[in-house]
Chains A and B, each alone.
Chain A
Amino acid sequence: MKIAPKILLIVYFLLSNFVYANDEPVVFQNRDLEERYYLLIEEVRCLVCQNQSLADSNAPLAQDLRNEIFKMIQINKSNTEIMEFLVKRYGDFVLYRPPLKKNTWLLWFGPFLFLIVAFFVTVLIIKKQSGETQVNK
C-alpha cells in the first residue's frame, strides 16, 4: 500500500519527462494573488528533487505542481485549502514549514526551550561568579 503512491510518482515523473516541459510563465490579475503564489511555491517541496522548493526547481513535477497551485489560486482557494490539498496528496513531507503537531512539538518549541535554559544557566554562572568576587573582597 505504501509503495503504490511512490510508484505512481515515479511513473508520473518518467512520463512527464517525455511530455513537453511546461515552463510557461503565469500571469495574474493582481499583485496580491501573485505574491501569494510566490510565497506558496517557496514553502512547498519538490518531491523528486534533492531538497529544492517548487520555486527553485525545473523538474517536470515541480512545474506541474506550480501550475496546479496557480490554478487553485485562480479559482479562489485559500492558502490553507491549497496546503491541505497538497498534504492530502503527498503528506507532511511536502511542507517546508512543518505543521505544529504532536511529533513536531519538540522541533518548534525546542529552540525556545534551549534559549530559556541557556538564560538561566548563564545567570546562575554569573551569580556564582559575583558571589566569589564578594568573598574575594
Chain B
Amino acid sequence: MIAELGNISLSAALAMAIIQSVFPILGAAKGNQTWMSLARPTARLQFLFVLIAFMILIYSFLVNDFSIAYVANNSNTLLPWFYRFSAVWGAHEGSLLLWVLILNIWTIAVTFFSRHLPDHFLSRVIGVMGIVSIGFLLFMLFTSNPFERLFPIPTNGADLNPLLQDIGLIIHPPILYMGYVGFSVAFSFAIAALLAGNLDITWARWSRPWTLLAWIFLTLGIALGSWWAYYELGWGGWWFWDPVENASFMPWLIGTALIHSLAATDKRGIFKNWTILLAICAFALSLLGTFLVRSGVLTSVHAFATDPTRGIFILALLAVFIGGSLILYAIRAPSTKSAGSFELLSRETFLLFNSILLLVAMLTVLLGTIYPLIIEALNLGKLSVGAPYFNAVFIPVMTPLVIFLGFGVLTKWKQNNFVTFLRKIRTLLISSLLIGICIGAVFFSDNQLKSIAGIVAALWISFTSLYSLFVKIKDKKDKIIAFKIIPYSFYGMLIAHIGFAVSIIGITITSQHSIDIHQRMKVNDKIEFADYKFHLMDLKTLSGPNYQATEAVVDVIKNGQLITTLRSQKRIYTVRNISMTEAGIDAGFTRDIYISLGEPLNDGAWSIRLYHKPFVRWIWLGAILIAIGGLLAIIDRRYRLDGLLKKTSSNNNEAISTIK
C-alpha cells in the first residue's frame, strides 16, 4: 500500500510541475498576473509531494519492505540501519529520486530567497525549473520507478553493493548532486533572461550567489568522492580519470569559467553572450554526467544502470534541453551588445583566455571520456583511454591557465600600463622560480623537474594573489581599516586561488614522490620502509553484521617510538560474496601512512601493501579552501538581495559605477 502512495505522490508532483512550468511562463509572456502567481505555490506543493515520495522510500528501506523491487535489490535485513538509509540513493532509481528532490530543494530556495526579483522574471525561472523537473519525473515514472513491486516477495534482499557501505556514500552523492543540480538554477536564470529578451547585466548579478553556491557544492562533492575512493578502494589512489569522475569534473571546469565570467558580466557588462552560453553548457554537462553514469554506456564503479531504454530516454531529454536552449540562444543572443570595452592588457583579456582554456580543458576531458564509446559504436575497434592519456594532454592545457591566472590577478580592469605590469611580473616570476627550484633541489632527489614545475606554479599563483592584496593596502595609512574595507569577495578570490595552489602542491608531490612496497608478512614480522618500522602484531578474524573479516594490526615505529597502530581489514561480504579492503591510514599534514591487507599466502603469511604518500591531504585541503573562498564571495554584502534591489531598480550603468 505504501509503495502505491509513493507512486501517487510522484504523479501529483508531475502534475504540479506541469502547472508550475506552463502557466508562469505563459503568464510572463502575456503579462497575466494570476498565471504568474501560480509559480510559487505549485513549486512548493511539488516539493512537498517529492519529499513525501522520498520519505516513503526511506521508510520502505528501514522496515525492509522487500515487496518493492528497488529495496529488495539494494538492501538486506543484515544491513545496519544507516546503510539501509543511504541505500535509498545507492542505485539508479533512488538516486534519480534524490536528483529530483534536490532540484526541488533548489527551486523552493529560489521561491524563498528571490522575493525581490520582478514577478515576470521569477515566474520564468521557476517555470524553467519546472520543465527540468517534468523531464526527470517522466523519466522516473516510465523507465526507473523506485516503487515498482516485486512478486513473489523474496524473503531477503540482495544487499547493498559493499563498495557503497561506507560513510562516504552517505554524504558524497547528496553533496555532489547539490552541485550538479544547482547549475539548473544558473541555467534557469539564463533561460529566463533569454525568454525575456532582456540580457542586461541584472540577471548575471542575481544568479551569481546561486551559481557560486552550486559550484561550492560541486567542489566539495568531487573532493569527497576523491577522498572516499582513496580510503575505500584500498589502493591509495585519489583520482582515476574514471568516466564517472570525469562526468563531475567537466561541469566543474565550466562552472569555474562561469563564476568568473559572471563576475565580469556583472562588474563590467562584458562577455554577456559568453556567460549565457557557459550557463547553458554547465547544466548540459550536468545532464550529460547523469546520462553517462546512469545510462549504462559505461562500465565503471558507479554505473549501476544497464537498461538501454533509459539511455535513449536521457539522450532525448538531453537533446530537448540542450537543443531547445541553444535555439533560443541563437534567436535572442546576437541582438545584445557588450556595454564595456577593454584594451589588450587588461584583466578582461586574461579572464577571457582562461575562460576559453577551461572550455578547452573540458573538451579534452570530454574527448577522452567519450572517444572509446564512439570508436566502439562505429565499429572501429575497442580502446581504453586512461590516466596516462589524460595526464599527458591535460597538463599542457592547464599550464597557460596557471600563468594567465597570475596575470589576471595582477592586472586591473579595462587598461594597464605595460611597463608597470612588466615590472610586477618580473619580480614575482623570478621569485617563484628561484624559491621553487631551491625547494625542489633541497627536498627531492628524483623527479626533480616535474616537482619543481608544480611548486613554481603553486608559488606563482600564491605570490600574485598575495601581491594583489599588498597593492590594495600598501598606500593606506591605517592598515587595519584598509584590511576591513576590502570586500569579502576579494578575500574569497584570494583564498580560493591559494586553495588551488595548495591542491597543485598536493597533486604534484603525491604523484611524484609516493612510494609503496608489496610485502609478504607473518605475525611478528618487521619491515623497514620510508624511515618507519612496521611491525605486524596480530592477524585476527572478526565478524561484522554482514561480513567476515581478517584484520591486520600493525604498529608503526619511528626512531624507537610508537607512532600509531594501524588496522587494515580484508572483508568478505557474505550476501554478495564480494571481498573488500579496509585500509589502515595514519593521516598527517605532510604525509599519510597507508596500509592495505592483500591476500592470504601459504603457511599463514599474508601479502600486505604499505604506502607512504607525502602531502596527499593537501589535495583535499585545497578543495576546502576553494570552497571557503566561494562562500566568502557569496556573503559579500554587495550581492545580498536586499542590497541588490536598490541598485537594480536604478539605472544599470549607475549600478556598475557604484559597484566598482
Distance between Cα atoms of A45 and B387 in the complex (Å) = 11
Name the segment of B7-15, B106-114, B388-396, B614-622 touching the other chain.
B388-396
Per-position binary interface string of chain B over residues 349-390, scored 1 when its CB falls under 8 Å from any chain A CB and 0 otherwise: 100110011011001100110010001000011111111110
Closest to B517 in A: A25
Residues of A within 8 A of B371 (CB): 104, 106-107
Q: Is B421's CB within 8 Å of the partner chain A? A: no
Q: Is B306's CB within 8 Å of the partner chain A? A: no
Q: Are B357 and A53 in contact (CB under 8 A)?
A: no
Shortest C-beta distance, A64 to chain B (Å), equals: 13
Q: Are A122 and B356 in contact (CB under 8 A)?
A: yes
Residues of B within 8 A of A55 (CB): 235
Shortest C-beta distance, A94 to chain B (Å), equals: 7
From B383, B386, B598, A92 is in contact (CB under 8 Å) with B383
Distance between Cα atoms of A111 and B360 in the complex (Å) = 7
Q: Are B598 and A58 in contact (CB under 8 A)?
A: yes
Within 8 A of B (CB), among A79-137: 91-98, 103-104, 106-108, 110-112, 114-115, 118, 121-122, 125-126, 129-130, 132-133, 136
Distance between Cα atoms of A97 and B368 in the complex (Å) = 11
Closest to B599 in A: A23
Q: Is B6's CB within 8 Å of the partner chain A? A: no
Q: Are B344 and A130 in contact (CB under 8 A)?
A: yes
Residues of B within 8 A of A115 (CB): 360, 396-397
Distance between Cα atoms of A83 and B342 in the complex (Å) = 53
Shortest C-beta distance, A26 to chain B (Å), equals: 7
From A50, A92, A125, B300 is in contact (CB under 8 Å) with A50
Q: Are B235 and A56 in contact (CB under 8 A)?
A: yes
Q: Is A78's CB within 8 Å of the partner chain B? A: no
Q: Is B564's CB within 8 Å of the partner chain A? A: no
Task: Using A23-B599, A43-B388 as known contacts, say yes or no to A104 and B356 having CB atoms under 8 A apart.
Answer: no
Residues of A within 8 A of B563 (CB): none
Q: Are B385 and A125 in contact (CB under 8 A)?
A: no
Q: Is A24's CB within 8 Å of the partner chain B? A: yes
Distance between Cα atoms of A106 and B374 in the complex (Å) = 12
Q: Are A58 and B356 in contact (CB under 8 A)?
A: no
Q: Is B538's CB within 8 Å of the partner chain A? A: no
Q: Are B386 and A97 in contact (CB under 8 A)?
A: yes
Count the A residues whose beta carbon is within 8 Å of the partner chain — how many? 45
Distance between Cα atoms of A111 and B382 in the complex (Å) = 21
Q: Are A97 and B341 in contact (CB under 8 A)?
A: no
Distance between Cα atoms of A98 and B389 in the complex (Å) = 7
Distance between Cα atoms of A112 and B270 in the complex (Å) = 28
Q: Are A114 and B364 in contact (CB under 8 A)?
A: yes
Residues of B within 8 A of A104 (CB): 371, 383
Q: Are A50 and B299 in contact (CB under 8 A)?
A: yes
Q: Are A132 and B341 in contact (CB under 8 A)?
A: yes
Q: Are B385 and A96 in contact (CB under 8 A)?
A: yes
Q: Are B384 and A94 in contact (CB under 8 A)?
A: yes
Q: Are A125 and B607 in contact (CB under 8 A)?
A: no
Task: Using A103-B375, A111-B367 as known contacts, say yes or no to A25 and B383 having CB atoms under 8 A apart.
Answer: no
Distance between Cα atoms of A10 and B50 in the complex (Å) = 44
Residues of A within 8 A of B396 (CB): 111-112, 115
Distance between Cα atoms of A24 and B600 in the complex (Å) = 9
Q: Is B518's CB within 8 Å of the partner chain A? A: yes
Per-position binary interface string of chain A over residues 56-90, scored 1 when its CB falls under 8 Å from any chain B CB and 0 otherwise: 10100000000000000000000000000000000
Q: Are B382 and A133 in contact (CB under 8 A)?
A: no
Within 8 A of B (CB), among A14-59: 20-26, 42-43, 45, 50-53, 55-56, 58
Distance between Cα atoms of A111 and B152 in the complex (Å) = 53
Task: Using A25-B607, A103-B381 as known contacts, say yes or no to A114 and B363 having CB atoms under 8 A apart.
Answer: yes
Residues of B within 8 A of A56 (CB): 233, 235, 237, 240
Residues of A within 8 A of B172 (CB): none
From A58, A94, A133, B341 is in contact (CB under 8 Å) with A133
Residues of A within 8 A of B363 (CB): 110-111, 114
Q: Are A107 and B360 in contact (CB under 8 A)?
A: no
Within 8 A of A (CB), among B318-358: 338, 341-344, 348-349, 352-353, 356-357
From B388, B397, B598, A97 is in contact (CB under 8 Å) with B388
Q: How large is the interface on B (under 10, 10 to 19, 20 to 34, 35 or more residues)?
A: 35 or more
Shortest C-beta distance, A93 to chain B (Å), equals: 4
Q: Is B90's CB within 8 Å of the partner chain A? A: no
Distance between Cα atoms of A130 and B601 in the complex (Å) = 71
From B342, B359, B368, A118 is in contact (CB under 8 Å) with B359
Shortest C-beta distance, B344 to chain A (Å), equals: 6
Distance between Cα atoms of A26 and B240 in the complex (Å) = 25
Distance between Cα atoms of A1 and B494 in the complex (Å) = 61
Q: Is B520's CB within 8 Å of the partner chain A? A: yes
Closest to A35 in B: B446
Q: Are B240 and A51 in contact (CB under 8 A)?
A: yes
Q: Is B519's CB within 8 Å of the partner chain A? A: yes
Distance between Cα atoms of A69 and B519 in the complex (Å) = 18
Distance between Cα atoms of A114 and B356 in the complex (Å) = 10
Q: Is B242's CB within 8 Å of the partner chain A? A: yes
Residues of A within 8 A of B384 (CB): 45, 92-96, 98
Distance between Cα atoms of A110 and B394 in the complex (Å) = 12
Residues of A within 8 A of B607 (CB): 23-25
Shortest C-beta distance, B256 to chain A (Å), equals: 16
Q: Is B301's CB within 8 Å of the partner chain A? A: yes
Q: Is B243's CB within 8 Å of the partner chain A? A: yes
Q: Are B389 and A24 in contact (CB under 8 A)?
A: no
Q: Are A23 and B382 in contact (CB under 8 A)?
A: no
Shortest C-beta distance, B605 to chain A (Å), equals: 9
Distance between Cα atoms of A53 and B301 in the complex (Å) = 13
Q: Are B356 and A51 in contact (CB under 8 A)?
A: no
Q: Are A121 and B388 in contact (CB under 8 A)?
A: no
Shortest C-beta distance, A5 to chain B (Å), equals: 12
Shortest C-beta distance, A116 to chain B (Å), equals: 10
Distance between Cα atoms of A88 and B100 in the complex (Å) = 47
From B299, B338, B381, A91 is in contact (CB under 8 Å) with B381
From A50, A58, A110, A112, B301 is in contact (CB under 8 Å) with A50
Within 8 A of A (CB), among B502-525: 518-520
Q: Are A96 and B387 in contact (CB under 8 A)?
A: yes
Q: Are B367 and A122 in contact (CB under 8 A)?
A: no
Q: Are A133 and B343 in contact (CB under 8 A)?
A: yes
Residues of A within 8 A of B349 (CB): 126
Closest to B579 in A: A58
Q: Are B599 and A111 in contact (CB under 8 A)?
A: no
Closest to B363 in A: A114
Residues of B within 8 A of A53 (CB): 386-387
Q: Are A58 and B599 in contact (CB under 8 A)?
A: yes
Residues of A within 8 A of B (CB): 20-26, 42-43, 45, 50-53, 55-56, 58, 91-98, 103-104, 106-108, 110-112, 114-115, 118, 121-122, 125-126, 129-130, 132-133, 136
A-B contact pairs, 15 of them (CB 8 A): A21-B599, A23-B598, A23-B601, A51-B299, A55-B235, A93-B383, A96-B387, A104-B371, A107-B367, A107-B385, A111-B363, A118-B357, A126-B349, A130-B343, A133-B341
For the complex with contacts A97-B392, A130-B341, 12 further pairs of A-B residues with Cβ separation under 8 Å are A21-B599, A25-B519, A45-B384, A51-B243, A92-B384, A98-B389, A107-B383, A114-B363, A115-B360, A115-B397, A118-B359, A122-B353
Closest 7 CB pairs of A and B: A96-B386, A97-B388, A23-B599, A111-B364, A23-B607, A25-B518, A111-B393
